Amino acid sequence: MSKIELKHIDKYYGKNHILKDINLTIEDGDFMTLLGPSGCGKTTTLRVVSGLEKPQNGFIYMNGKEIVNAAEAHFEPPAARGLNLVFQSYALWPHMTVYENVAFGLKIKKTPKDEIDRRVASALDRMQIGQYAQRYPTELSGGQQQRVAIARAIVSEPSLLLFDEPLSNLDAKLRVDMRSELKRLHKETGSTIIYVTHDQIEALTMSTKIAIFFEGVLVQVAPPLELYNNPADLRVADFIGNPRINFIDGKGKLDGKDLVVKTVDGETFRFASENLVEGFRPSGEFDAVIGVRPEQVTIHRTRKHDTDVAAKVYTVMPAGSETIVDVMVGKTRITIKELGITHYEHDDIVYLELNPQKMNVFDKASKKLVKYAVVD
Ligand SMILES: Nc1ncnc2c1ncn2[C@@H]1O[C@H](COP(=O)(O)OP(=O)(O)O)[C@@H](O)[C@H]1O
Ligand SMILES: [Mg+2]
């Protein structure tokens, strides 16, 4: 059992307010990823949870038990919190072989030798480093050392694992393999995992939930697809997804109960009232930003519907299994992702089928989502 609750956590380094009133619950069995750009406070959050840093305000509960109460200066020491950490800088014991590094914790617990052998072999295999068992850390590359550090953390199948960018030193192919291994490990062991990364693909592919931070503020906590389909604000929308979401500026206002947005390029979109965020009641006209994911646009060579939008092809980028097509609608560039390989010439005139149901609308001033995309 590992449930962790952070309540009203503030962390300062000197005068710098690094974590701003963080409230986050990690349920038992979650694969919770802390995501956000460099410097947003992910590592600091992990260090606060693990007890390496003391927050100035707030509470942390582990399985309902108070482990931090800043006002009363109560901070359980890291060792008493029963967690396993893998930091970006992996400290392996240099005088021990890979096998000994990974086996160490099990030996301390007086695990029988044959069980240690079996579990170490399994952890090393999972990390694809079985062949290096008898080497010393100095005889390994950075990426191999990083995988030993992961093996050392997972070998005892702890109920709570904390990872700080554990795949950062691996090359692209290995990183993809390791994602799959960590995801499977999570399913097989039922461990609770808190995982820090700035890589949105890593977060989307592995997590059960993502907590996304900007400048020390926790902006949204949601399952990956929810975050992708309905980002809470413009920053989340822009950070998640590759190719990036398209933003189209316009002026919005209510028409009856519906929202109508007229874009800078003169197109008008109508959004049904049932998809508007509750409580959204603009009094007059407001600056709106429409968000459209690249895969939500269909390109036609001839006009298929009255509502199709004429566009001019800017560039075409075939990428093997898909084609990325950039087009201009007036002065706005739109990126479209088509499955398979499609052919267009620069400056071809095409027609875009856009589905308002699939769009997000944001209020430019508050940056907040005001209209949900409908998910099939
Ligand atoms: N020990 C420290 N002393 C002072 N400032 C720090 C310290 N650790 C981190 N910071 C600052 O706190 C902010 C958040 O850092 P960090 O949590 O490491 O970000 P992330 O892991 O999201 O990249 C950064 O601005 C960083 O410079
Ligand atoms: Mg960090």
Probe residue for ligand 1, chosen from 9, 12, 13 as the CB with the greatest number of ligand atoms within 8 Å = 13
Give dist(CA 370, CA 373) in Å, integer.
Answer: 10
Q: What local confidence, expressed as pLDDT, does residue 85 receive?
A: 67
Q: Specify the pairing of strand 369-371 against strand 31-35.
A: unpaired
Phi and psi torsions of 34, nearest 5°: -90, 115
Q: What is the CATH number of the domain that holds 272?
A: 2.40.50.140
Task: From 127, 165, 158, 159, select the one nearest 33 (Cα to Cα).
Answer: 165
Task: From 102, 160, 107, select the one nearest 126 (Cα to Cα).
Answer: 102
Q: What local confidence, expressed as pLDDT, does residue 91 receive?
A: 81
Answer yes or no: do 34 and 106 share one domain: yes
Answer yes or no: do 199 and 214 share one domain: yes
- Classify residue 5 by burial, with Cβ atoms within 10 Å: 0-12, 13-18, 19+: middle
| Residue bearing the CA closest to ligand 1, atom 25 | 39
Asked which of 219, 238, 257 is the last residue of a domain, the reply is 238
Regions of the chain where pLDDT drops below 70: 84-90
Q: What local confidence, expressed as pLDDT, does residue 90 receive?
A: 67
What angle, rounded to 10 degrees, do the helices at 113-126 and 142-154 form? Answer: 130
Dist. CA 227 → ligand 1 center (Å):
25
Residues in Cβ contact with 44 at an 8 Å cutoff, skipping those fewer than 6 apart: 11, 18, 19, 53
Task: From 335, 336, 348, select the one nearest 298 (Cα to Cα).
Answer: 336
Q: Residue 53 CA: which ligand 1 atom is closest?
A: 1
Cβ–Cβ under 8 Å, residues 252 and 270: no
Note the helical H segments in 273-322: none
Q: Residue 164 CA: which ligand 1 atom is closest?
A: 21
CB atoms inside a 10 Å sphere around CB 308: 17
Dist. CA 15 → ligand 2 center (Å):
20
Please state the domain count of the chain.
2
| Residue bearing the CA closest to ligand 1, atom 2 | 13
Q: Which residues face 270 on adjacent strands?
A: 260
| Residue bearing the CA closest to ligand 1, atom 18 | 43
Q: What is the DSSP letter of 126?
A: H
Residue 40 lies in a domain: yes
Note the helical H segments in the chain: 42-50, 98-108, 113-126, 142-154, 172-189, 200-206, 224-229, 234-239
Q: Is 178 in the pocket of ligand 1 (CB under 6 A)?
A: no
Q: What is the CATH number of the domain that holds 106?
A: 3.40.50.300
| Residue bearing the CA closest to ligand 1, atom 1 | 13
Q: What local confidence, expressed as pLDDT, does residue 146 receive?
A: 87
Dist. CA 43 → ligand 1 center (Å):
7
What size, in residues, is the chain? 376
Answer yes or no: do 223 and 266 share one domain: no
Residue 355 belongs to what domain range? 244-371
Residue 376 lies in a domain: no
Asked which of 223, 238, 253 is the last residue of a domain, the reply is 238
Q: Specify the pairing of strand 192-197 against strand 286-292.
A: unpaired
Rounded to two decimals, the pTM is 0.93
Q: What local confidence, expressed as pLDDT, does residue 283 receive?
A: 87
Asked which of 238, 273, 295 is the last residue of a domain, the reply is 238
Token digits for 283?
Answer: 């009094």
Q: Is 216 in the pocket of ligand 1 (CB under 6 A)?
A: no
Answer yes or no: do 292 and 166 share one domain: no
